[in-house]
Amino acid sequence: MAPPDRADAPAPLVRGEPIEVSEGVFVIPDNRVPIVPNVGIVVGEHAALVIDTGIGARNGEYVLEQARRLAGGRRLFLTLTHFHPEHGFGAHAFKGAATIVYNAAQRAELHRKGAAYADMFRGLSPAVAAELDGVHFVDPEVTYTGEAEVDLGGRKVLLREVGPAHTVGDQVVLVDDRVLFGGDLLENRMFPIAPYFPPHDTDVDADRWITVLDQLLALAPAVVVPGHGEVSDATLIRDVRDYLDHVRTETTRLRDRGTTEDEAAEKIGDSARSRWSTWEHPEWTSFAVRAFYNGHSAA
pLDDT one-digit tens code per residue, 239-269 = 999 999 999 999 999 999 999 999 999 999 9
pLDDT at 296: 52
Residues 246 and 270 sit within 8 Å (Cβ to Cβ): no
Fold of 19-298: Metallo-beta-lactamase; Chain A (3.60.15)
**Tens of pLDDT, residues 50-108:** 999 999 999 999 999 999 999 999 999 999 999 999 999 999 999 999 999 999 999 99
Residue spans of the domains in the chain: they are 19-298
Percent of the chain with pLDDT over 70: 97
